[in-house]
Structure 1
Amino acid sequence: MDRVNTTSAVCSVFAGVLTCYVGLKVYKKRQVKKKALKKREESRRALQDVQRSVATDDPLTASKRREILSLTLAQLSQQLRDGQLSAVQVLQAFQEKAISENDKLNCLTEPVPDALARAEGLDAGGGKEGLLHGVPVSIKDNVNIKGMATTMGVTKHLDIPADEDAVIVQVLKKQGAVPFVKTNVPQTLLSMACSNPVFGETLNPVDPTRSPGGSSGGEGALIRSGGSVLGVGSDIAGSARIPAHFCGIHGFKPTAYRIRWASLVSSHTGPVSLLSSIQKEQKRLGAIIWLDTRLKVVVSAPGLLARDVDSLALGMKALLVPDMFQLDPLVVPIPFRQEIYDDKKPMRIGYFPALQSCPPTPSMGRAVIMAKEALEKAGHTLVVFDPPDQMYAIMDLAFRLISADGGKTFYTEWLKDEIIDDRIKSQVSLMTMPYYLRNIMGFLLRPIWPRVSRNMSYRLLGSIYELWQRLVEREEYIQKFLADWREKELDVLLCPAFAIPACKPQHAGPIILAASYTVLFNLLNFPAGVVPVTTVTEEDDRLLDDWRGYGNDLFDRLFKQTSRGAVGLPVAVQCVALPWQEEKCLRLMKEVETVCPV
C-alpha cells in the first residue's frame, strides 16, 4: 500500500511539474506575441505621425511631389546638387509616397527618426559635393542604423538598438544621402516570402497574391511601387536579386568585400563560427593557419535595388570611395571604373537558358533566348556556355556551407522561444530534424524523386574534417567554372534570374531549389544582377501543361503549381561577370535594359 501511495505521489509531483512547464511555455509564447504586436502598433503610429506631418492640401505642392517621384536617380541627384530641389522637399515627397504604399503592401518596418533633421541640415549647409546629396534612401531591416533595432523579425532584438551605423550607411551619409525608412524582411532572412511575426507580411505590388521575394522583399515592393529610388539590401543566395525579379525592378550583388558587409546582421553565421573554432583548435595545436573566411565559404554581400541600371551604377560609384576604404581597410580599394561601364565595344557573352539539375519554367527560359537574340542584333557575340552542373553540386554544396554549424546559430540565437513564422516552418523543420530521420525519408524517396531525396537527406557538416572537404569541393568547382569561362573567352554571362516567376507565399519554402540560379554566384563569389526583360504570357502559361522540368518530381509539380496564373508577372534575366568586375556586369545589364525595354 505504501508503495502504491509513493508511486501515486511521485506521479502527482511529475504531473504538477509538467503542468507548470507547459504553462510557463504558453505564458512565454503569449508574452512574445504581446511584445511583437506592441512593436507593430508602435511602428504603425510612428509611420502615421510622419504621414500627418507631410500631408498637404496645396495642389502646387502635390504636383511638385509627383514630378519629384517621376525623376530618375541621376536626374534627382543633379537637381538636388543644382539647388532646383531642396532635400526637405524631396524627403517629404518620398515619405508621403512610401507610407501611402505601405498601407497597401506592408513593406516598411519603421521610419528613420532623424531623417527630417538630416535633410534640414543638408539644406542649411553650403556643401553639395556628395553624389547622393539629399537623396532619400531606403534601408533593409538587417542593416544597422544607430539607435534603431535590427530586428530580423524576432522579438528578442526589439529592445537592442544598434550602437552605430553600418559602414555602408556611414558612407551613404558622407555622400549626402538621407536614410528615411527601414524595410521589411522574412523572419531570419531565410525565405523567399517576406513575412515575420513582428511586422507581418509584405505583398507583391504587381500581384498582391504573390510574394515580393526575399529576403529584401520590403525593398523590392517599395521601389517597384515608387516609394524609393534607391534601396540597400543584402544577398547570400539571391536575397537582393530574387525580390528584384519578383517585383520587376533591378537588383545587384557585387563581389563580396567590394563593399563592406560590417554591421549587416545575418542569421546564418554558422560558417564563420565553425571556421573560428577551427582557427582556435589549430592555434591550440601550435599551428599557424592563414584562413580567409570571406573567400572560403558562401558569404553575404550588400546589395542594391533600383528602378534602372544607371541608378545601380550611381549607387556603386557613390559607395566605392576613399571613405569606404578608410572606414574598413578590409575592403579592396578599387574605385568605380566609369570607363568600363561606359565602354561601347561589342562583348563576347556566354549564355545558358537552363541548369540541368533545375530546368526553369517556360517564361524564364524564353526570357534568356529573347535577350540573347536582341544582344546579337546589337552587335554582340553570343556563345553557348554549359556551366559545370554536376548533379546537386550547386545547392548541396552551397547550403551545406551556409549551414555549416548544423543550423544551431540559426535556431538557438534567433528562433528559440520565438513565434516561428508560418512561411519558414518548413525550412526550420528540415534544418532541425535529426539526420537519421532525414536520411530515412531520403532513402524511401530515392527511387521515386532523386532530387527530393537528396534535398531531404543531405548531411550537415559535423566535423572540421568534413568542412575542409567541402571547401576543397568548392575550390574545385570554382576552378572548373573558371576554366570553362576561359576556354570560351567570355567577357560576361547571361542566364535565367530564377527558375520561376514570383511564387505564391505558401510555396516560398518548398521551392528552395529554384534559387539554384542565384546561389550559384554566391558560391562562386561572382558579381551578378537582374534586369526585367518581359512578362509572363498566355502562351507561357499554356506551355506549363506539357512542361515536366527535371522529371515531374515534387519540385517540378510545385514549380508548375505556383507558376500557374502568373500572366503579366515580370520576368528577368541575370547578368554575371568575373570577381571584381562589377562595372562590366553593370555594363551588360545596361545593354540588356537597352535592347529589351519592358
Structure 2
Amino acid sequence: MFSYLAHRRACYAKQQERRDRIQSLSPVYQAPLTSIEKNILSKPVADIVSSVQSGSLKPSDILRAYGKAALKAHAATNCLTEICIPEAEEWAKNCNTKGPLAGMPVSLKDEHAIEGFDATVGYSAWVGKKMKKDSALVRLLRAAGAVPYVKTNVPITMLSFECANEVFGTTTNPHGKDFAPGGSSGGEAALLACGGSRIGVGSDVAGSVRIPSHYSGTYTIKSSSYRFLKSGNAHSSIPGEEGVPVSLSPMTRTLEDLETFWKAVMSMKPWEYDHAVLPIPWRDLDLSNQKGLRWGVMWDDGVAAPSPACHRALHTVAKTLEARGHKVISITPPSPYEGLKLAALLLMADGCKCCIEPIRTGEFNDPGVVEALAMFRTPRIIKKLYAWYLRYIKRDPLYADLVEVWSEKTVPEYLALVSQREAYRERWYEFMNEQDLDFVLTVPNSLPAVPHGGMKEGWKACGYTFLWNLLDYTAGIMPVTHVDRVRDALGAFKPRNAIEAGQYRMYNADKMHGLPVGVQVVGRRLQEEKVLEGMKIIQNLLREDGNAYVPLDLMD
C-alpha cells in the first residue's frame, strides 16, 4: 500500500512539474509560429550552424522557434519529459558560436544525464533524483555549440517498441494517434517526425532507435558499440549488461541532417570526452558513382514474414538499385532465428530482474515485458510440457524451442551463451566475405507501427533489428513509403508459427493507411560512414524516380 501511494504521488508530482514548467515559460512560446520561425524550422542543420557562425542568425531565435515547435509536437503526441527551455535560454546566450553545432537545439532521450534534471526513464521511484553532472555526450554537445532543450519519453524498462509509462503517460504516433511511435526512443521519434526537433540522440539494444524511425518516419544509424558516446548516464534498466551491447545513436528528421550531426560529433574527438569511445575519426567516403556495389537482400528472417507494406518498401528499394546497375542478390544468411534466440537469452539472462527491480507495487509495466516475465516465472517442468505440446501437437518447433530455453541463466550458462555469440558472429563474418557483400537490405520489422498494447503480441518479433545488435553491425533506417490500404491489403495467409500469428493479428492495412514504412541498410561493424553512403545512394535514386519520402509537417 505504501509503495503504491508513493508511486501515485511521484507520478502526480512529476506531471505537475512538467505542466508548471510549460506554463511558466515566456508567453512567446505559446504564440503561433511566425514566418521567420517557420523559415528557421525549414532550414537544414548545416544551414543553421553556418548562419550562427557568420552572425546572421542568433541562437536565442533558433531556440525560440524550436521551443515553440517542441511544445506543439508535445500537445499532439505527449512526447516530452523534461522541459529544459528556461535553462537553455542561458545556454544559448553563451554557446560556442564557432562550433560545428553552433546554436543548434538538440533533443535527448530521457535517459541522458543533464545536470539538475531527472532521468526517470518512466520509473516513478526515480522521480526527483536529479542528475549531478552532465553525461559525456551532453558535455561534448555543449562544447560543439549545441543547445539541449528538451528530453523525450520512453517506455518503462526501455525494453519495448511502444512508448508508455505512468510517470509521463503514453506517447502517440504523429501519423495516427491509435498507434505507437516506436520504442524505446519513441518520444524522440515522435518529436522529430512532428518537426519539433531536427536532431536528437536515442539508444538501441534491440532496435530502440531503428523501430521508432521505422514507425514514425525518421532517420537513424545505429552505431556499433563504442563508436558513439554513452558514458555518464546514471540510470539504465539493465545496468552492466554486455551480452548484447547497447549503442547510443543519433536520430534526425532528414538524411542530410544525419550526416551533418555524425560529422559534427566526430569532429569533436568524442574519445576525449568518453573513455569508452574508440579513437576513430570520421572517414569520408563517396560511393555515389560506384555501380559494382553488392547488396544482399534478406527477404524473410524465418520467424515473421514481412507484411505486404513492409515487403513492398523493400522490393521498391531492391528494384530501384538493380535498375541502376547495382548487384542485388537474395541471400540465405546464417540462421536469423538462431540470432534472435541467442540475443534474447543474453539480454534477459537475469530473468528480467534488473528491469523490474525499480517498479513499485501497482505500477504499470509494458505488456511485452509482462509476457516475458510470465514465461520466466513459469516452472521449468510446465515449460517443458508446454514446449512438448507446441512441438508435437501444434507443430510449431520454432516457438517450442524458444519456450523451452526461456529461463534465468547461471553465470556458467551465460558465459556459454557469450561463446555461442562469438561463434555465430564468426559465421556471419565468413558469410559476408564469401558473398562479398557491401550491404544487407532488409525490413526493420514485419509490421508498420503497432497499435497501443501491441507488444503483448509483438515483443517476440524483433529479430530484424535485434540481429544486428547481437552482431554489433552498423544499421541504418530510412523511411521509404507509406502504408496503402489497397496495395498493401493482406490476402490469404497461414502463419508458420505463434510469433508470426501474433504479428499478423495486428496487421490491418486499412487502419494502418498512411503510416510510414522504412527500410534497413546494414553494414559491417564500425561502418557508419559506409552505411550513410548506402542510404544516400538509395535516397538519391528514389528522388530521381519521383519516389522521395516527404516528411510529416505539423508546423503549418
Q: TM-score, normalised by structure 2?
A: 0.92
User: Does the aligned pair in 1 maintain the 2:476–2:535 contact within 8 Å?
Assistant: yes
Instruction: Tell me the distance in 1 between the aligned counterparts of 2:26 and 2:377.
Output: 43
Structure 1 residues 182 and 167, CA gap change in structure 2 (3 angstroms): same
SS at match of 1:160: coil
Structure 1 residues 178 and 454, CA gap change in structure 2 (3 angstroms): same
* 1:420 corresponds to 2:364: yes
Query: Is the helix fraction higher in 1 or 2?
Result: 1
User: Does the aligned pair in 2 maintain the 1:168–1:319 contact within 8 Å?
Assistant: no
Match of 2:214 among 233, 245, 261: 245
Q: How far off its partner does 1:420 sit?
A: 2.5
Aligned residues: 536
Instruction: Tell me the distance in 1 between the aligned counterparts of 2:27 and 2:370.
Output: 38
- The 5 Å alignment of 1:265-304 reads 265-269=235-239, 271-272=241-242, 297-304=243-250
Match of 1:48 in 2: 23
Match of 1:443 among 388, 395, 399: 388
Match of 1:512 among 456, 459, 473: 459
Instruction: Tell me the distance in 2 between the aligned counterparts of 1:28 and 1:415.
Output: 10
Could you tell me which amino acid in structure 2 is paired with residue 368 of structure 1? L
User: Does the aligned pair in 1 maintain the 2:156–2:165 contact within 8 Å?
Assistant: yes
Instruction: Tell me the distance in 2 between the aligned counterparts of 1:62 and 1:330.
Output: 43
Instruction: Tell me the distance in 1 between the aligned counterparts of 2:69 and 2:126.
Output: 29
User: Does the aligned pair in 1 maintain the 2:156–2:366 contact within 8 Å?
Assistant: no
Q: How far off its partner does 1:259 sit?
A: 1.0
SS at match of 2:364: coil
Structure 1 residues 367 and 248, CA gap change in structure 2 (3 angstroms): same
Could you tell me which amino acid in structure 1 is paired with residue 93 of structure 2? E
* 1:330 corresponds to 2:276: yes
Q: How far off its partner does 1:520 sit?
A: 0.5
User: Does the aligned pair in 2 maintain the 1:51–1:95 contact within 8 Å?
Assistant: no
Structure 1 residues 129 and 343, CA gap change in structure 2 (3 angstroms): farther
Could you tell me which amino acid in structure 2 is paired with residue 183 of structure 1? T
Q: How far off its partner does 1:540 sit?
A: 4.3
User: Does the aligned pair in 2 maintain the 1:251–1:303 contact within 8 Å?
Assistant: yes
* 1:120 corresponds to 2:66: no
* 1:202 corresponds to 2:171: yes
Instruction: Tell me the distance in 2 between the aligned counterparts of 1:168 and 1:509.
Output: 34
User: Does the aligned pair in 1 maintain the 2:441–2:522 contact within 8 Å?
Assistant: yes
SS at match of 1:99: helix
Instruction: Tell me the distance in 2 between the aligned counterparts of 1:200 and 1:231.
Output: 21
Q: How far off its partner does 1:548 sit?
A: 2.7
Instruction: Tell me the distance in 2 between the aligned counterparts of 1:504 and 1:158.
Output: 28
Q: How far off its partner does 1:31 sit?
A: 2.5
Instruction: Tell me the distance in 2 between the aligned counterparts of 1:509 and 1:561.
Output: 11
Instruction: Tell me the distance in 2 between the aligned counterparts of 1:477 and 1:232.
Output: 30
Match of 1:170 in 2: 139
* 1:312 corresponds to 2:284: no
* 1:93 corresponds to 2:65: yes
Q: How far off its partner does 1:80 sit?
A: 2.2
Q: How far off its partner does 1:30 sit?
A: 2.2
Q: How far off its partner does 1:365 sit?
A: 1.7
Match of 1:483 in 2: 430
User: Does the aligned pair in 1 maintain the 2:184–2:208 contact within 8 Å?
Assistant: yes
Structure 1 residues 75 and 396, CA gap change in structure 2 (3 angstroms): same
User: Does the aligned pair in 2 maintain the 1:212–1:246 contact within 8 Å?
Assistant: yes
Structure 1 residues 406 and 545, CA gap change in structure 2 (3 angstroms): same
Q: How far off its partner does 1:150 sit?
A: 0.9
- The 5 Å alignment of 1:5-24 reads none
SS at match of 1:575: strand
Instruction: Tell me the distance in 2 between the aligned counterparts of 1:51 and 1:244.
Output: 32
Q: How far off its partner does 1:207 sit?
A: 0.7
Could you tell me which amino acid in structure 2 is paired with residue 459 of structure 1? W
Instruction: Tell me the distance in 2 between the aligned counterparts of 1:27 and 1:404.
Output: 31
Match of 2:492 among 546, 568, 571: 546
Q: How far off its partner does 1:220 sit?
A: 0.6
Match of 1:64 among 16, 21, 36: 36
Match of 1:501 in 2: 448
User: Does the aligned pair in 1 maintain the 2:92–2:147 contact within 8 Å?
Assistant: yes
Match of 2:503 in 1: 559
Could you tell me which amino acid in structure 1 is paired with residue 482 of structure 2? T
User: Does the aligned pair in 2 maintain the 1:257–1:331 contact within 8 Å?
Assistant: yes
User: Does the aligned pair in 2 maintain the 1:387–1:484 contact within 8 Å?
Assistant: yes
* 1:533 corresponds to 2:486: no
For structure 1, list consecutive stretches of 5 or more residues without a partner in the other structure: 1-25, 273-296
Q: Percent identity?
A: 31
- The 5 Å alignment of 1:141-156 reads 141-156=110-125
SS at match of 2:457: coil
Instruction: Tell me the distance in 2 between the aligned counterparts of 1:384 and 1:187.
Output: 38
Q: How far off its partner does 1:267 sit?
A: 0.8
Match of 1:569 among 496, 511, 515: 515
Instruction: Tell me the distance in 1 between the aligned counterparts of 2:413 and 2:462.
Output: 24
Could you tell me which amino acid in structure 2 is paired with residue 47 of structure 1? I
User: Does the aligned pair in 2 maintain the 1:155–1:418 contact within 8 Å?
Assistant: no
User: Does the aligned pair in 1 maintain the 2:137–2:273 contact within 8 Å?
Assistant: no
User: Does the aligned pair in 2 maintain the 1:364–1:572 contact within 8 Å?
Assistant: yes
Higher mean displacement: 31-40 or 444-453? 444-453
Structure 1 residues 131 and 323, CA gap change in structure 2 (3 angstroms): same
For structure 2, list consecutive stretches of 5 or more residues without a partner in the other structure: 543-547, 550-556
Query: What is the root-mean-square deviation of aligned Cα atoms in Å?
Result: 2.0
Query: Residues 67-108 of structure 1, C-alpha deviation per residue, up to 9 Å, x if partnerless?
Result: 111112222222222222110001010111111121121000
Q: How far off its partner does 1:434 sit?
A: 4.2
* 1:32 corresponds to 2:11: no
SS at match of 1:151: coil
Match of 1:580 in 2: 526
Structure 1 residues 438 and 162, CA gap change in structure 2 (3 angstroms): farther
Match of 2:338 among 393, 411, 426: 393
Structure 1 residues 139 and 431, CA gap change in structure 2 (3 angstroms): farther
Q: How far off its partner does 1:533 sit?
A: 0.9
Instruction: Tell me the distance in 2 between the aligned counterparts of 1:467 and 1:400.
Output: 8
Instruction: Tell me the distance in 2 between the aligned counterparts of 1:559 and 1:334.
Output: 40
SS at match of 2:53: helix
Query: Residues 514-535 of structure 1, C-alpha deviation per residue, up to 9 Å, x if partnerless?
Result: 2100000000000101011111
* 1:232 corresponds to 2:177: no
Instruction: Tell me the distance in 1 between the aligned counterparts of 2:411 and 2:422.
Output: 17
Instruction: Tell me the distance in 2 between the aligned counterparts of 1:99 and 1:498.
Output: 30
Match of 2:410 among 463, 467, 470: 463
Query: Residues 165-224 of structure 1, C-alpha deviation per residue, up to 9 Å, x if partnerless?
Result: 111111111111100000000001011110001000000000111100000000010000
- The 5 Å alignment of 1:342-361 reads 344-346=289-291, 347-361=293-307
Match of 2:78 in 1: 106
Match of 1:289 in 2: none
Q: TM-score, normalised by structure 1?
A: 0.86
* 1:595 corresponds to 2:541: yes
Instruction: Tell me the distance in 1 between the aligned counterparts of 2:377 and 2:133.
Output: 33
Instruction: Tell me the distance in 2 between the aligned counterparts of 1:197 and 1:56.
Output: 29
Structure 1 residues 116 and 170, CA gap change in structure 2 (3 angstroms): same
Structure 1 residues 409 and 97, CA gap change in structure 2 (3 angstroms): same
User: Does the aligned pair in 1 maintain the 2:125–2:359 contact within 8 Å?
Assistant: no
Match of 2:469 in 1: 522
Instruction: Tell me the distance in 2 between the aligned counterparts of 1:485 and 1:372.
Output: 18
Match of 2:107 among 120, 129, 138: 138
Instruction: Tell me the distance in 2 between the aligned counterparts of 1:411 and 1:419.
Output: 10
Instruction: Tell me the distance in 2 between the aligned counterparts of 1:580 and 1:312.
Output: 16
SS at match of 1:460: coil
Instruction: Tell me the distance in 2 between the aligned counterparts of 1:341 and 1:438.
Output: 53
Query: Residues 536-561 of structure 1, C-alpha deviation per residue, up to 9 Å, x if partnerless?
Result: 1234442x231334x1x433333222
Query: Residues 238-297 of structure 1, C-alpha deviation per residue, up to 9 Å, x if partnerless?
Result: 00000000001112211100012212342123645xxxxxxxxxxxxxxxxxxxxxxxx2
User: Does the aligned pair in 1 maintain the 2:109–2:202 contact within 8 Å?
Assistant: yes
Query: Residues 298-328 of structure 1, C-alpha deviation per residue, up to 9 Å, x if partnerless?
Result: 0100021111222112111122235411122
